[in-house]
Amino acid sequence: MDIPVEKLGDVAVAVIDVEEIDAGNSGELKRDITPILQANRKIVIDLERVRFVDSSGLGVMLSCLRYQEAQGGNLKLCSMSKAVRTAFELVRMHRLFDIFGSRDEAINAFR
């Protein structure tokens, strides 16, 4: 899975460029986002293109957050569709993540 990363100062913005994060591609996502997590302490994950996420996708997001926190970093999510936000809320994961409406808001939250 290609995950474009844009560096804005000390913040890395990773764009998840798929419409669905599910059991079929969550392992690939975890594998491909790990080097991005290892190389950056401040990360914004842009979910604008994602329209659906299942429990395995939510698990990947949670493991990303836990990894960043264990390394002394931070992770923020942005640009969620209503369906993806609902999935996070159903399992109360919206309480664990800093979620922003736009990429700019998420980046500015690091300042």
pTM confidence score = 0.96
Q: What is the pLDDT of residues 51-91, one digit of tens each?
A: 999 999 999 999 999 999 999 999 999 999 999 999 999 99
Q: pLDDT-based confidence at 13, cuts 50/70/90?
A: very high
- Beta bridge partners, 13, equal 6, 44
- CA angle 56/80/101 to nearest 5° reads 145
Q: pLDDT-based confidence at 111, cuts 50/70/90?
A: confident
Tell me how many domains the chain contains: 1
| Rounded Cα distance, 100 and 106, in Å | 6
Domain that holds residue 31: 5-108
CATH number of the CATH domain containing 52: 3.30.750.24
